[in-house]
Structures are given as structure tokens and as C-alpha cells.
Amino acid sequence: MKAKATLKQIALEFGVSISTVSKALSDSPEISEATKIKIREYAALQNYKPNSIAKNLKNQRTNTIGVIIPNILNPFFAKVFSGIEKKALEKGYNVITGISNESFLKEKEIMDMLNSGTIDGFIVSVAEETQSLKESKHFKDIMNSGTPIVMFDRVSEAINCDKVIVDDFDSAFDATQYLIKLGSKKIAVLSTIDNLSVGHLRYEGYVKALKENNLVLNEELVVLEKDTEVFDNKLQDLMSNHKLDAVFALDEHASTMAMKFAYKNEIKIPEELNVIGFADGVWSKRLTPSLTTVSQHAPEIGEKAAELLIDKLNSKDEFYQPQTVEIKTELRHRESTRKL
Amino acid sequence: MKAKATLKQIALEFGVSISTVSKALSDSPEISEATKIKIREYAALQNYKPNSIAKNLKNQRTNTIGVIIPNILNPFFAKVFSGIEKKALEKGYNVITGISNESFLKEKEIMDMLNSGTIDGFIVSVAEETQSLKESKHFKDIMNSGTPIVMFDRVSEAINCDKVIVDDFDSAFDATQYLIKLGSKKIAVLSTIDNLSVGHLRYEGYVKALKENNLVLNEELVVLEKDTEVFDNKLQDLMSNHKLDAVFALDEHASTMAMKFAYKNEIKIPEELNVIGFADGVWSKRLTPSLTTVSQHAPEIGEKAAELLIDKLNSKDEFYQPQTVEIKTELRHRESTRKL
DNA sequence: GTGAAAGCGCTAACAC
DNA sequence: GTGTTAGCGCTTTCAC
């Protein structure tokens, strides 16, 4: 492997100065056509690429976004991520990724590590542990150091920054409402994520829909349980002891488990039981029957978050007012609910 | 927001030189305890963090790995990715991510873009288009420029670099063998990924297992079709016209579709039909019945790839011999196959 | 025990 | 039309 082409090396080659080469390559009118041509040809031949680290150091910006995600195996986050990546590439930004694995400490460490000139700004979805501990100082510190943050989905109330969220409350309300319209009266609500801001909002939406339709909230039909094994047991009990006519599942585990138990107990979906679940992956379509879902437009969330961040990075405005963008969900009707 | 702490700023504060500060902070024995203490205290107070870009420029390395993945929504890649990220963090590396979206051009562009000092090395799983076009020059160019590449899963024969692969051929052979042991004679093989190196190897493994067991290869039981809609139609035809006793699915789409059609045609799994599929996500467990899978140990693949790359980056050895590591798969017995 | 200086690769203001 | 210079923030060698 030969020495990498640099301005210096090229300058030496032609016996000119470094700045001449730099200007020639950036097509400056100061340089004669002849010089430009020979230098550019040589550079192309040598496959010269300006060292972006040096450029970054000079410019005091890296054109890189740090994305902190709780769990890349969750298809929602994977989809948001691909939206971010797409928009970033479009705008000439790189994406550097950290996975907090729902741990507060890891979230903090990764962010501190990256906040040392490596990235220009962050896009974050807050780790579960961070939310339950109500931690937010690390975010504040980072923003005080001059690094902007955009949060999505799981956001921190205590932080005043750009946010992209889903209308969890309203969409849960609408979905429940829809189940009621289908004639369902015994609607179970199932969740393994009630400790998350978004999870709890969804539950509240369910509660409100019941109230507005004068249905009593029966605690026995409510399973909010983080531990999936315990959840499965509780769900099994619920489904053996109650003849439900609908299930509203607030996450993917809950919806698939509900369908599994229905199958085992020979309860027909959707004839005897309507099922709606929050879901984003390709799996809701593949299930048998396919699942009616509240879809969160995950890629759009990612694109919007990237856009907000990049706009902020490119604006010189000191008094930029943070905004919160709400992305509307959509009820995707499939086979697990009856027709109206 | 106040000016960010730098060596220069701290030096000014105490009326000492930049190098004194630098040495004090790196605990050099040249500096007196008193000076060290006061400088360190001040630095901590100011939340000083060395600018990593400057350090990178100086060191001519970035401690960053570029990971190029065809599709982050595929749980296999998501899992490999999390393995890479984990190992990288452990070893003090950052991960910068590009998604090729199965496109040759995007793969090439992203890699060229990152190969300008931004990253020290690549971990790549080759895009589908790159494989079908048999492109490899862009990889060669990058390696010639001195940037090491580690490939995983979908590797390029033409490139002599470190590789981490799955024993696709053998595991498909074993899985088919297992179906035969269960007494299956009419074993369909289903794949939407036969254009991928790994996909085709799996098919070959199936073929060999049939041969060794003196079963004829019935072309009618073979559905290799990239387009998922066309695939679904062909599969439906197959399952209506043949009484299969087993299905070997080479990807997730194929396995779930087989189960869907079995359900619709009231074919009992596993009593009448044994199903084995290649799968990595959490979904094989959630399906009803849960799916017996060939599991690829995706996180280990990622960790191994990261390890190989980082070892290479840290070694000075010019005559490093590229190695190919094979990760063994495992047959995970669940409810979609009968007991032996 | 501390400081000066060079240099990583690049840009840009300012000579000539 | 081309070159000189300073500087981005840091490390490191060498001098005092």
C-alpha cells in the first residue's frame, strides 16, 4: 500500500505549494486552467480524498449525528433508525450509533463519549431505566455544552428540546373507540411497557375511551406487567376466566401472546375476539390471522427528527424555539378485527 | 453556553503553557503534584474533554468502525449489529453505520465517503445487488487504500479478507436430515433468497441431504422465488396440489407463509407437517405453533467480526493472513416439528 | 518542573 | 496566478 495522497504530497510532486493544490482542487478562479487540469488529473489518478478529520478539525463540525437507541431489535426503533439514516445521508451527514440497551448508565456513557467533538448533535430515544429513574441531568449537561438534542418517541419532560412524538394517547383512544364501535364490551388491555411514558399514555387513552362510552373500567381486564413471563401467566389466567370480546395490546409481545392463547383456547379471531395491537414490523402482516395495528409511521419519525436536528445545526439562530412535532398514527385494518 | 474548555483555555487560566496542561492531565511524572492537582480540579470543574477530532488527526486513527448493512429491518442484521456495537464499545471503538438497502451504488458511495479518514476499518455484509452483479472492485480499492475490511454472512469470494460466516451448507444439510429422520418424504424447500450466496448454499445443503438419503429431488417441491408476491402464489399452488409432510424454509418470509397456508388449509403442524425455518428474531418463539429454527448465533457473528477487525487494526503485522471464521448454527427445537 | 516548537491535513486571509 | 502564514486542538520531543 502506497502512501495516501495528501495536499502536501501532491504539492511536492508538482513543486508547487499546498495552497495552490487546495485551490486547484476546489476550482478556485485564482488558479490557471493548465495547473488546475494537471493537478486534478493527478489527484483523480491517485484517488485523492480530502481527509475529513482534518476538515472537521478546521471547521469545528463533523457532519455527524449521534443516534442513541434503547434497542435495535425492536422493529420500531430499527425503522426510525433507517429513516434517520436515509435523511442524514441525503443531507450529507453520517450517523454514529449507540445502543443504550435500556440502561441509564450506558446511555450517559455513550453520549458523554461522543460529545467530545465526534458528533454535532444527538437524536435520542430515552432508555427505560432513565425514564423510571427520572434522570435528565446528563441531557441538560450535554445541551449546555452546546450540543443540540432531538428526542423522539420516549421523550423527557424535563428537557426543553426538539421532540418528535406519536399521539399515543389519542391513537389509543381511537383504537379503543373503534373496538367499542364493533360492539365489544369486555375489552382487555394488555401491556408490558406501562413503565414507559408512551406505554402509560396508551393506557390512559384506553381508560378515557371507556369512560366516554360509559363502560366501567374493570380492573380484572387490565394486565400491566413488565416481566414477560409473569405477564404471560396473568394473561393466561385472564383469558381462561373471562370471556373477552376484544383485546387491545399496547406492544408486540402483548398482541402476539393474546393471539397465541386465543388459538390454544380455540377462540376464533375475529369472530369471537377482536384484536388490535401497537406494532410496526413486517410481522403483523405475516401473523395468522394478520393483525390490525396502530401503525406509528416509524420511518417518518426518524426523518423528521433528522430534519429538525440538521436544520438546527445549520441555523445560526441563538434564540431558536424548540418545537414538538406530533406524527399521526394510523389504524391499519387487517384480519384480526371484524368489519364495521 | 460558555466557551468549551480546551488545553489552551486552561493554560491561559493558570498562566502556564499548553504542554504543561496536557502533561498534567495525562498524569505525566514531569509535572509537580501541586500543579497537577489544581489543573485537574479545574478541568473537572469545567468538564474538560479532550477533542477527539484533534486527537484523531494527530494519531492518524479514529477508533471508529464503519458498519455496512444491507437492511437493518432484518432481525438477523439487527442482531449482528448489536453484537458489533457491544464488542466495539468494550474495546473503545465507535460504530458508524451505513445501510446499503441492498443497492450496489449506495454501498459503494457510503463506503467511499467513510473511507476518508472517518473510519479505521469496515465490517460489511454485501448488498444483494452487489452479489448478483458480482461487483468487488470497490472493496479491492478500499483495501488497497489501506483500510481493512471484515465481511460477514454475505461475503465476496473475490476478496481476500477476514470473514465470519455461518455454515449454511452444513446446517441446511443437517436440518433436512433431521426432517428425514422424522419420517418425512415429501419435503418442500422454500426460499426467497436464492440469489444470495448464503441462500443458495442452503439450497445445496438440502439437495445433498436428499441425495445421501436416496430421496429423489422433486422439482415441484422446490420454490425459489425472489419476488414475495409471486412466491406466495407459487407456494399456495404447491400446498394445494401436494400433500407435503415437511417444509424447509430458507428465510423468515418463507417459513411464516408456509405456516399461514397450512393454517388456512387446515393442515396440522406438526402432526401432518413438520416445519423448520432459518430465523433469528424473537418471532419464531411467538408464532403459534412456535417455529423450530436454524439459529445463526447472530450476536456472536457480530462480536467475532468486530474482534477480527480490531485485532487487525491493533496489529502492526504487514503479512497478516486473512482468516475465515465459521460460526456453528444450532437447531432450536420448538413446536413446529414432531419429537423424534 | 516547565515551556517552546513542530506537526497531523486542511482552509483561508493575506501577501507578492 | 501562486505562495506564505496562521490556526483548528492535541501530542510529543527536546530544550531550558
Whether residue B49 and residue A144 make contact (CB cut-off 8 A), yes or no, is: no
- Distance of A103 CA from C10 C1′ (whole Å): 39
Q: What average pLDDT does the segment B262-290 reach? A: 93
The band of B103, judged by pLDDT with boundaries at 50, 70 and 90, is very high
d(CA A235, CA A284): 20
B216 to chain A, closest Cα gap in Å? 32
User: How far, in Å, CA of A142 to CA of A122, rounded?
Assistant: 9
Q: Which of B62, B99, B260 sits opposite A82 (nearest CB)?
A: B99
Mean pLDDT of chain B: 95
Q: Reduced to 3 states, what is the DSSP secondary structure of residue A248?
A: strand
What is the structure's pLDDT at B319? 73
Of B50, B85, B288, the CB nearest to A263: B288
Q: Which residues pair with A295 in a beta bridge?
A: A330
The answer to whether residues B338 and B184 touch, using CB atoms and an 8 Å cutoff, is: no
Q: Which of residues 280-309 of A touch B (CB under 8 A)?
A: 281-283, 286-288
Statement: residue B318 has pLDDT above 70 = no
The pLDDT score that the predictor gives to residue A317 is 66
In the prediction, which pLDDT does A315 show? 86
* Residues 234-253 of chain B whose Cβ lies under 8 A from any Cβ of chain A: 253
Calculate how close chain B gets to A231, using CA atoms only, in Å: 14
Interchain contact, A78 vs B78, CB within 8 Å: yes
For the four alpha carbons of B281, B283, B285 and B291, in that order, the dihedral sign comes to negative
Q: Which nucleotide is nearest to A9 (CA to C1')?
A: C9
Q: What is the pLDDT of residue B1?
A: 47
Contacts of B156 (CB under 8 A, 6+ apart): B126, B130, B131, B136, B139
Of the pLDDT bands very low, low, confident and very high (cuts 50, 70, 90), residue B322 is very high
Pairing of strands B292-295, B274-278: parallel
Per-residue tens of pLDDT for chain A, all 340 residues: 456 789 999 999 999 999 999 999 999 999 999 999 999 999 999 999 999 999 999 999 999 999 999 999 999 999 999 999 999 999 999 999 999 999 999 999 999 999 999 999 999 999 999 999 999 999 999 999 999 999 999 999 999 999 999 999 999 999 999 999 999 999 999 999 999 999 999 999 999 999 999 999 999 999 999 999 999 999 999 999 999 999 999 999 999 999 999 999 999 999 999 999 999 888 999 998 999 999 999 999 999 999 999 999 998 666 778 999 999 999 999 999 999 8
Which is higher by pLDDT, B267 or A4? B267
Q: Using a CB–CB cutoff of 8 Å, tell me whether A89 touches chain B.
A: yes
Question: Rounded to whole angstroms, how far apart are CA atoms B319 and B307?
Answer: 18
Strand partners, B189: B222, B248
What whole-number distance in Å separates Cα of residue B336 and Cα of residue B259? 9
Task: Give tens-digit pLDDT for B16-36.
Answer: 999 999 999 999 999 999 999
| Residue from the list B53, B79, B99 with its beta carbon closest to the beta carbon of A53 | B53
pTM of the model: 0.93
Residues of A in contact with B116 (CB under 8 A): 49-52
**Does A42 touch chain B if contact means CB atoms closer than 8 Å?**
no
Q: Which three cell numbers stand for residue B16?
A: 502556564
CA nearest B272: which of B259, B284, B283?
Answer: B259
For B138-172, what is each residue's pLDDT tens digit?
Answer: 999 999 999 999 999 999 999 999 999 999 999 99
Q: Give the CA distances from residue A56 to residues A89, A112, A214, B146, in Å, rounded to whole numbers and listed in that order.
A: 17, 19, 61, 21
User: Bridge-partner residues for B292, per DSSP?
Assistant: B276
Q: Which residue places its CA closest to the C1' of nucleotide C3?
A: B17
Q: Is the pLDDT confidence value at B2 over 70?
A: no
| B244 has a pLDDT exceeding 70 | yes
Local structure of A149: helix, strand or coil: strand
Of all residues in chain A, the one with the smallest CA distance to B259 is A288
